[in-house]
Structure 1
Amino acid sequence: MPAILPTRTVPAVLAAVLAAGALTGCSGGPVKAGSAALVGDDRITVRALDAAVTDWRREFKEDGAANALRADPESGGAGQAAALQASGDDLSGALSGMIAIRVADEVARRVHLDVTATDVDRIVAQMDAQQGARAYTLAKGLPTSYTRDLARFYTVQTAVLGGLARGAQPGSAGFQRAAQTTEALFARTAAGMKIEVNPRYGRYDPAQLKIDSVPSMLSATESGVR
Structure 2
Amino acid sequence: MVRRRTAVSIAAAALLLASPALTACGSGPAQPGAAALIGDQKITVSTLQHKVNEVRAAQAASSQADQQSAAGGKLSTQTLSMLVQNTVIERAAADAKVTVSDGEVQQQHAAALQQFSGSEKALDAALLQQYDIVPAGADSFFRTNALVGKLIMSLGFQPGSDGGQTAIVDALSKTADELGVKINPRYGAWDAKKAIIGDATDPWVVTRTPGAAAPAA
- What is the TM-score with the length of structure 1 in the denominator? 0.64
1:136 counterpart (117, 121, 127): 127
User: 3-state DSSP class of the match of 1:196?
Assistant: strand
Q: Please name the residue that 2:35 is paired with.
A: 36
Q: How far has the Cα of 1:21 moved from its partner?
A: 1.2
User: 3-state DSSP class of the match of 2:132?
Assistant: coil
1:157 counterpart (148, 157, 174): 148
Q: How far has the Cα of 1:49 moved from its partner?
A: 0.9
Q: How far has the Cα of 1:123 moved from its partner?
A: 1.6
Q: How far has the Cα of 1:19 moved from its partner?
A: 6.5
Long gaps (5+) in structure 2: 11-22, 117-122, 200-217
Q: How many residues align?
A: 175
CA RMSD of aligned residues (A): 3.3
The correspondence of residues 22-171 of structure 1 with structure 2, limited to 5 A, is 22=8, 28=24, 29-61=28-60, 62=62, 64=64, 67=67, 78=70, 85=73, 89-130=74-115, 132=123, 135-137=126-128, 139-163=130-154, 164-165=156-157
Q: How far has the Cα of 1:186 moved from its partner?
A: 1.9
Summarize the Cα distance change of 1:199–1:19 in structure 2 as closer, same or farther, 3 Å threshold: closer
Long gaps (5+) in structure 1: 1-15, 71-77, 214-226
Q: One-letter code of the match for 1:121? A: Q
User: 3-state DSSP class of the match of 1:165?
Assistant: coil
- What is the TM-score with the length of structure 2 in the denominator? 0.66
Distance in 2 (alpha carbons) for counterparts of 1:116 and 1:91: 30
Q: How far has the Cα of 1:109 moved from its partner?
A: 0.9
Cα deviations by residue, 1:50-84 (Å, 9 ceiling, x for unpaired): 1111110121242649948x6xxxxxxx5x55xxx
CA contact (8 A) 1:137 1:150 kept: no
Q: How far has the Cα of 1:158 moved from its partner?
A: 1.2
Summarize the Cα distance change of 1:42–1:149 in structure 2 as closer, same or farther, 3 Å threshold: farther
Distance in 2 (alpha carbons) for counterparts of 1:107 and 1:198: 23
Summarize the Cα distance change of 1:180–1:212 in structure 2 as closer, same or farther, 3 Å threshold: closer
Which 4+ runs in 1 deviate beyond 6 A? none
Q: How far has the Cα of 1:128 moved from its partner?
A: 2.5
Summarize the Cα distance change of 1:143–1:179 in structure 2 as closer, same or farther, 3 Å threshold: same
User: 3-state DSSP class of the match of 2:32?
Assistant: coil
Q: Which moved more, 1:178-187 or 1:48-57?
A: 178-187
Q: How far has the Cα of 1:34 moved from its partner?
A: 1.1
User: 3-state DSSP class of the match of 1:207?
Assistant: coil
